[in-house]
Amino acid sequence: MVKILICDELAEEGLGLFRQEKNLSVVLKTKLPLEELKKQIADADACIVRSGTQLTADVIGAARKLKVIGRAGVGLDNVDVEAASKKGIIVMNTPGGNTISAAEHTFSLLMALARNIPQASVSVKKGEWERKKFTGVELYEKTLGILGLGRIGTEVARRAQAFGMRVIGYDPFLRAEKALEIGVEAVSLDELLKQSDFLTLHMPLTAENRHLIGAKELEKMKKTARVINCARGGLVDEAALAEAIKNGRLAGAALDVFETEPPGDGAIVGLPQVIVTPHLGASTEEAQIAVAVDVVQSVIDFFKGKSIRNAVNFPSVDPEVLEQIKPYIHLAEKMGSLLAQLIEGQILQVDIEYHGQAVGYEATPITVAAIKGLLAPILAESVNYVNASFLAKERGIKITEAKTSDASRYSNLIDLDVRTDKKTSKISGTVFTREDTRVVRLDGFDVEVAPEGYLLLISNRDVPGIVGQIGTLLGAGGVNIAGMTLGRDKPGGQARTLLKIDSAVPDAVMHQIKKAKNVLDAKLIRL
């Protein structure tokens, strides 16, 4: 009998699907203490959670039989995907279940913000009757700026259009013609800030876009503008937002997510011009039913040997074929992730070419892995092996695949070229053994490095003393160098220094490196 451990409350519609399966034994135990959770998961074949249960590396390590983890929702902050992957456990989520609920909550806050509804309600309940104090603004013919035009951003756009709003959007990974298809005018971030009467965010939170909307950005906005964030806490600098509202630089804001949750009594929460809700974006009956049904059906299909849906760490291919191409999948995904951290501008085209022995394998899952690696760090949606190609197509990104028997110096080689509206970036990698994959060329420079952990890429002039200079700065900052590879276009020309390091580089040290003599640029890469 297959044991399904459910650790958080799940909608009855989902549980009912399990009851129809004779070979599945469902154990529903919520709010388990750590040791009891480890005891229960030890003999479980599957585990389903929402956001309340933390499946850490320690908990996953206690699982002896676990084959699949199902997350009823999108976020995976509470699941150690890397630990699960190392144990061969498939992790699934439900990326589409809360789209409508999140979009509707965003628009609810937008409307409440426009008409001061929460403030007016509180006033009337106090026995007051101050109509003039709560005079609002119409949405008709106002400009809504959307940061991030994925599923949720697109649904928000449709609702805004129904209210007669002009909708503009900024998404560096969506082509202008694709934006027009959904009735959105694509503009630059600066123009979005300047033109928007209402600004709403629908992007993932990454190290690169933390505080994407800060004091400098808020300065560019109209004094009558209002900001809505139902995406991720940290996208907006809450202190800067509070200051802008207090000083009359902004009319108001509505927040469903915060840098720290719960936010306590921070400055932003207490402002009368600010509406706050406790992360309710997906909190509707319909969304809870949708994610429950989705995750349960995915788990049932898995144990019936059907196709694997919405896996975040596993390609949907035949197990025997997968075993053969695992090193190539791993390499391609890492190559994509590496380039994602280097490219600039809007992605237009991705070209993947297979050489030598790599030609003999089924290329589709390898290509998908490269696309997943490229898009995952930069899209609001949960990107997995199932939807990576779809998301690329949805954004108008052209993907080409080619094969040639010639691999030059290597028995096998994968070339990945990414063309944006600013430049083309190139990376090549090879598989030496099942456990040894390497990046061997980057933007025309010969390098050789395992695509794992932290890498520091230095663009510099080919002059003596660069390595010592960088090493000294890293050492002073407490960063250990684990390996190094050098490449140059010609003696005395331009060079690339690629360092494998044991930890992230502190911001202050990165600043020093970028300012160092003969250093042209420096980028920290996390793989």
> Per mean pLDDT, which range of 9-13, 382-386, 415-419 is the poorest?
382-386
When the pLDDT of each residue in the chain is averaged and rounded to a whole number, the result is: 92
Query: pLDDT confidence of 33, banded at 50, 70, 90?
Result: very high
pLDDT, tens digit, 9 for 90 and up, residues 421-459: 999 999 999 999 888 999 999 998 999 999 999 999 999
| One-letter amino acid of 418 | V
Full-model pTM: 0.69
**What's the pLDDT score for residue 204?**
81
∠472-455-352 over CA atoms, to 5°? 150
Burial (CB < 10 A; 0-12, 13-18, 19+), residue 495, is: buried
Residue 316 has pLDDT above 60, yes or no: no
Beta strands (DSSP E) in 300-382 are 347-356
Cα distances (Å, whole numbers) of residue 123 to 81, 135, 460: 47, 13, 62
Better-scored residue on pLDDT, 447 or 51:
447
Distance CA 24, CA 18 (A): 7
Complete domains list, the chain, with CATH: 1-97+286-314 (3.40.50.720), 99-276 (3.40.50.720), 315-445 (3.30.1330.90), 453-527 (3.30.70.260)
Tokens of 152: 């949720």
Tokens of 426: 């190139």
Residues serving a catalytic function are 232, 261, 279
**What's the pLDDT score for residue 81?**
86
Burial (CB < 10 A; 0-12, 13-18, 19+), residue 218, is: buried
Cα distances (Å, whole numbers) of residue 163 to 11, 29, 114, 145, 183: 33, 45, 13, 14, 13
Alpha helices in 355-489 (DSSP H): 364-375, 388-394, 466-476
Contact of 109 with 131, CB cutoff 8 Å: no
pLDDT, tens digit, 9 for 90 and up, residues 101-145: 999 999 999 999 999 999 999 999 999 999 999 999 999 999 999
∠227-50-527 over CA atoms, to 5°? 75
**What's the pLDDT score for residue 407?**
59
